[in-house]
Amino acid sequence: MYQRARRVTNTSENLKEEEEHLHKVLQSNGYDNATIRAGSKELPSNDHTHTQQEKGLILTIPYIANFSETIQGVCRDFDIKTAFTVQQA
**pLDDT tens string 54-82:** 567 889 998 888 888 999 999 999 999 99
Return the higher-pLDDT residue of 30 and 45: 30
Query: Which of 24, 18, 13 shows the shortest CA–CA distance to 1?
Result: 18
Q: How far apart are CA 89 and CA 87, in angstroms?
A: 6
Ordered by start, the domain boundaries in the chain are 2-40, 52-85
pTM: 0.44
